[in-house]
Amino acid sequence: MNRFYAIGLLALFAIIATSANAASVNVCEGVSDNIFIADVTNCSNYYYCNNGQAIAQQCRDSLYFNAASQSCVATSSGCLTCDKDVLNSTALIKTCNKYVLCFAGTPVLQQCADNLQYNPNLRACDLPRNVDCAADRCSIYQDPQNIVYVPSVSACNKYFICMNGLPQNQSCVSGLYFSSDCNCCDLPANVNCTISKSSSRSVSLQTAAMIAPRMVDIKCPIEGINFLAHRNPNQYFMCVNGKGALMTCAASLYFDKEVGACRRLEDIQKKH
Ligand SMILES: *[C@@H]1O[C@H](CO)[C@@H](O)[C@H](O)[C@H]1NC(C)=O
Ligand SMILES: *[C@@H]1O[C@H](CO)[C@@H](O)[C@H](O)[C@H]1NC(C)=O
Ligand SMILES: *[C@@H]1O[C@H](CO)[C@@H](O)[C@H](O)[C@H]1NC(C)=O
Ligand SMILES: *[C@@H]1O[C@H](CO)[C@@H](O)[C@H](O)[C@H]1NC(C)=O
């Protein structure tokens, strides 16, 4: 009897994977210079991104950081508030692959694995071609002499131009692809674009694939952030300080308990 109990316990612990410390997410990783990112734990504070490094800053005079305007303002309406009874996630503004999970009143910073991007419609990490986010590449403090071009990740003929800190979508004329070499549209033979022709997922499939996360009553470690595997390979349990939630990966992604994130099957199989 005792032996079976021990084996059962062992099996339970085997499927628990403790995440890397959430505080270890570098909010400026992959973010262009001169972009400001909210400190989700305190709206008086924010980070200045330089060379991929996050430099802590404070708003003066009791102002609040507003990520949308990239400035400190008098009103706190742009501050993140995590409701106690709500499980919800929202993009970390001016990043493409980071998001804040509001978990029983606690903001938990999360990062998509690989080069996946956070899809605000699904409220989950998704294939970049379904999101095509370039917000992390456009600073409001841009050298007016140097136009910033950002290639699209959804189609070879699309790209963005940064204007006033926001990416404006552009398309090449028929048949041409955008080239980062010349920041211009060129013949496909001259452009190294590896985006497959298959178009992005239809909106109806996106909606069908979306299952909102919900709180569940499971045995969770009392402290920290932990992930538990689920019998469905595209779902997982997440525990934050003793409370559990059932999470679902976007269509065609699977939970990797080693990494504690949803990933493409081929990325999970690549052992690192
Ligand atoms: C937020 O940060 C400011 C400046 O660092 C500090 O004075 C304030 O006490 C902090 N607020 C909370 C709620 O921690
Ligand atoms: C989740 O957050 C978004 C904004 O981040 C909000 O529009 C939505 O109403 C929230 N959902 C719930 C159930 O609170
Ligand atoms: C730019 O985005 C808007 C809104 O998503 C879309 O309607 C429009 O077709 C896009 N333009 C180009 C050139 O891709
Ligand atoms: C395209 O990119 C791949 C991988 O980066 C590289 O191996 C290949 O030589 C490139 N081809 C051209 C035509 O630049």
Would residue 80 count as lying in a domain? yes
- Judge if 186 and 90 occupy the same domain: no
Does any ligand 1 atom lie closer than 6 A to the CB of residue 180? Answer: no
- Strands in 147-234 per DSSP E: 149-151, 158-163, 166-171, 177-179, 184-186, 214-216, 225-229
Tokens of 242: 């003793």
Pick 78 or 10 by higher pLDDT.
78
pLDDT at 68: 95
Residue 191 CA to ligand 4 center (angstroms) comes to 9
- Alpha helices (runs of H) in the chain, residue ranges in sequence order: 2-14, 128-131, 203-209, 265-269
**pLDDT band per the 50, 70, 90 thresholds, residue 6:** very low
Q: For the residues 113-121, what does the mean pLDDT come to?
A: 94
Domain count, the chain: 2
| Residue 142 pLDDT > 80 | yes
Whether residues 187 and 212 fall in one domain = no
Residue with tokens 């005792």: 2
pLDDT band at 167 (very low <50, low <70, confident <90, very high): very high
Claim to verify: residue 114 and residue 27 sit in the same structural domain = yes
**Is the domain of 45 the same as that of 173?**
no
Residue 155: the pLDDT is 94
Ligand 3 pocket, 192 CB below 6 A? no
Same domain, 41 and 119: yes
The helix/strand/coil state of 161 is strand
Beta-ladder partners of 36: 48
Ligand 3 contact via 169 beta carbon (within 6 Å): yes
Phi, psi (rounded to 5 degrees) for 184: -150, 175
State whether 42 and 158 are in the same domain.
no
Are 12 and 102 in a shared domain?
yes
Instruction: Among 43, 45, 47, say which to mutate for ligand 1: greatest number of ligand atoms within 8 Å of CB.
Output: 45
Q: With a 6 A CB cut-off, is 168 part of the ligand 3 pocket?
A: no
Closest C-alpha to ligand 3, atom 4: 169
Same domain membership, residue 149 and residue 52: no
How much is the average pLDDT of 243-270?
Answer: 93
Is the distance from the beta carbon of residue 142 to the nearest atom of ligand 1 less than 6 Å? no
| Tens-digit pLDDT profile for residues 84-93 | 888 889 999 9
Say if residue 4's pLDDT is above 60.
no
CB-based contact 82:106 (threshold 8 Å): yes
| CA 158 to ligand 2 center in whole angstroms | 31
Task: Compute the distance between CA of residue 134 and CA of residue 112 in angstroms, rounded to an integer.
Answer: 15
- Note down the domain range covering 86: 3-132+203-269
The pLDDT value given to residue 270: 86
